[in-house]
């Protein structure tokens, strides 16, 4: 029998991030946290087995909408798609989101983590850091003092954000990126893997290289105009 105060979660997305989120939730449970994992939800149109990693896969998110004890985690890598799916969940069930944080992370006592965020194994977040809603922080990311990450930010593995970096909404920071102190990463920007940021990054741009240089720009609001509206595909 589950504990009366257990957090009951459903994971939207059964791809790689979904399975990593499941593993993290299982590690939390093994560490003594009261968590009950109900399974995954994927888009009705995708090919996916009936179970992924031993947990059931559902295709109709509305079956959980009326159950006020259920909380949701959007485990989708794309910040833009994650934002749209989160908005759909709010329409279906209200803002009932759980944060998933691996017990093997190093997180300072003065770190604030927004609802719906996912922090995976061996991430390091030091002191006076603010993380918004639905952020994803991958393994071995290092986030130093006084950083601010807004909603829907994605931090890939082995990223280093030195002190006082401000990452605006929806930014997607690739594996191994380094950002020097007190730089600002503009909203809905993309930083390619291995980039070294020595100056502010403009919103809605893609930057790559050492030092970072802009290779693409998109119109403001591009992330809302994308027509990909389904849940995360299953690639189990």
Q: Would you name the residues annotated as active-site residues?
A: 145
Q: 172-173 and 154-155 as β-strands: parallel, antiparallel, unpaired?
A: parallel
Extract the tokens encoding 204: 């809605």
Within 8 A by CB and 6+ apart from 56, the residues are 38, 39, 40, 50
Cα separation, 122 vs 104, in Å, equals 6
């Amino acid at each position: 029998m589950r504990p009366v105060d257990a957090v009951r979660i459903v994971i939207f997305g059964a791809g790689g991030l979904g399975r990593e989120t499941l593993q993290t939730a299982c590690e939390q449970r093994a560490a003594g946290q009261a968590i009950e994992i109900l399974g995954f939800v994927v888009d009705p149109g995708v090919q996916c087995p009936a179970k992924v990693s031993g947990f059931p896969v559902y295709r109709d998110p509305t079956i959980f909408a009326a159950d006020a004890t259920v909380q949701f985690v959007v485990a989708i890598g794309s910040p833009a798609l994650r934002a749209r799916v989160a908005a759909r969940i709010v329409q279906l069930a209200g803002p009932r989101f759980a944060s998933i944080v691996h017990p093997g992370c190093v997180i300072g006592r003065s770190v604030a983590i927004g609802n719906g965020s996912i922090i995976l194994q061996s991430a390091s977040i030091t002191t006076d850091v603010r993380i918004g809603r639905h952020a994803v922080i991958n393994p071995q990311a290092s986030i130093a003092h006084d950083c601010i990450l807004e909603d829907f930010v994605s931090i890939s593995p082995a990223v280093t954000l030195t002190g006082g970096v401000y990452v605006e909404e929806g930014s997607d920071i690739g594996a191994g990126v380094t950002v020097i102190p007190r730089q600002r990463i503009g909203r809905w920007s993309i930083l390619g893997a291995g980039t070294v940021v020595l100056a502010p990054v403009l919103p809605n741009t893609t930057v790559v290289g050492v030092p970072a240089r802009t290779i693409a720009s998109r119109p403001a609001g591009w992330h809302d105009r994308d027509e990909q509206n389904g849940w995360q595909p299953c690639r189990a």
